[in-house]
Every structure is written in structure tokens, then in C-alpha cells.
Structure 1
């Protein structure tokens, strides 16, 4: 039976893959190129996380992530005229993927026996690093390096996760609330233009 965190992981993979494929389509990539960008977006952060945690990267033992990315490509191809033309599509799917992957990173780090502060960093890495790889592939300045709240939303999600654990909430509820916390932080930051001060050149 598939547990809740695995379901979150697959949904996050689908959402992040769509965000990458959608941007690749805007750059006029072919189907294979779009698939590669979507896959890198979906598995990039988790791969870096697993290497740092000293475990085999998750996608090397479970081909499901390749299949989910393929389904995301088919989804964009079939519903392309609706998905690509919606200005907020990339942002929505990216925010969902960010929140879900942050939770997956936190949960896996804790399962491996690391301290919670490490889990927060790994949650941020899982959520944000795939987007960095995606933006590099399509020749854009990565979101994490702009003034928008992005990686910090993952840190906030980690704090929410910790509070839920301290309150003794069930694991599935903790994961869900934390993911929603990240997504809301990202949505509110963009809607109300909340950002950190820009470091200006001297």
C-alpha cells in the first residue's frame, strides 16, 4: 500500500515536471528537450538531497518518477493550448511542487536520523534545487537568486512541520499542513510583493 508521503512525492513530481515542461515549451524546446527539463526539475532537488544524505538517489530504484514525468509531458501536449496560455500555470504548479517536495525532503532526512535543522535544509534543497536546475537549462536567472520569497518558503514550511510534531499531530496531517504552509507563503509573498532587501553593488 502506498503511504501518504509517497503520494505527496508523486504529486510533487507531476507538478514540478509540468512547471519545467511549460517553461521549456515557451522556449520552443522539442518534446525530448521538454521532457529532460521536466525530469531535471522533478528529480534534481531530491537527487542532491540524497547524495548529501548518503543514500542512493530515489529515482534510481523507482522508475515511477520517469513515468510520472512522461505523463506530465503528455498532459501538457494534450492540454497545451489551455496550460501554456494560462499566465499563472507555471507559478501555480511550481508553488505546489515546492511545498510538496519540501515536506518530502524533511521527512526523508528525519527518517535517515538527521537533526531537525538538517531536515529543514534538506527540505529547502529538495524544494528549490530542482527549480534552479530548470532555470539554468532554459537560460533564466534562477528564482532562488531573485528577491522573491522562494527558498525561505521551504524554511517556513520546516518550522511549521516542527511545530506540528511538537503538538503531536498525526504524521499525514503534519505533512499536509506543512506543504500548505509552504504553498501559502509562496502565494502570499508574490501576491503582496513580500521580499528580502536587495543587496546593492558598492
Structure 2
């Protein structure tokens, strides 16, 4: 399908098992008056033409978010790359040329994330975020044309490391400041959730 002009699709990756949080959906953890996912949806929706959620299992538990859900198309929870692939496949069918993916556990995402990733990539390839010297492989812009290369890596090579694919495809690194706080901090475990709550108390505008 012909791409929809300059339109871009957004995808929140929530297809994992959240083992470090004790299972369940870590994105549904409360942070202030909202859940982590509520905050991510509110931050991402204005930045994209269409926003989807990659999740597995019963979709009813996530119905309140009001997002269409894309499940992994590969079995056995092979990791975030399977969610990216599901998003790229859907984007290709819907006519999008690019997808910005973000994790479900980063409640302080920048309001200009999409614009900066696209600006740095310049339509030439993918882009991935860096903050505090650390790469955040699940916060990235993916060109839809990479979906076949990604499928080959997952299915034929059993390559599940996001970092490996990003290096292989020459993703451009986009660096973000971490003052007064790191906008890409992840809530992976109860300690991380406590840190996020403390940050929000100190920086209500975060």
C-alpha cells in the first residue's frame, strides 16, 4: 500500500511477561493519579497519526486504554522484537512508512520524541534513543521496509536481541539530556516504581 503522506504510526510494546515486577502488566501500575500506560498514551497520542498497543493474552484487561491491540504473530514470547515485527507488518498493510515504538514502562517520555527521531533519521533509516550514555533499544523509529530483515533475524536466525538488529541496520543514535531527570527511565521492578513515584513528587510536570 502507498504510504499515507508523512503519517507515522506509534506502537507501545507491552507484550512481555514482566517477571521482575512479579508478573502481570507493569504498565498498569499506579503512578500518581494514573497508570504508567495512561501516561504513555497521553504523551504519545498527539505525536502520531495512529497509536497501537502490542500485548498478548486477554485484551479485555487493557480495554480502558481505548487502543487497538496487536498481538505477537510469533509464538512463545520471543521478546520485544516480535512486537516490533507485529507493528511493522500492520503498518505496511495500513500504509505507514515508519513506526515509532516505545516501551510500556517509561512514564516520562518526551513530548517531542517522534519529531526528534524523525528529524535525525531524515528518512534514511532507523533511529534509537540514548540518554545518560545508555541506549534504549525499545524507544526507536523503525522504517517499515525493515520488516523482512527483522522477520529473517527472528525466524531463521533466532536472533532476539534488539541491540544486535539496531547495530546491523545502522540505526542513528539520538541523544537526550538527563537533567533534571532521565525521560527514558524504566519501571522494571518495585524499586523502579518507587523511584518513579519519588521523581513525580519532585517534578509534577514530568
Q: TM-score range by the shorter chain?
A: 0.3 to 0.5
Output the TM-score relative to the length of structure 2.
0.35
More strand by share: 2
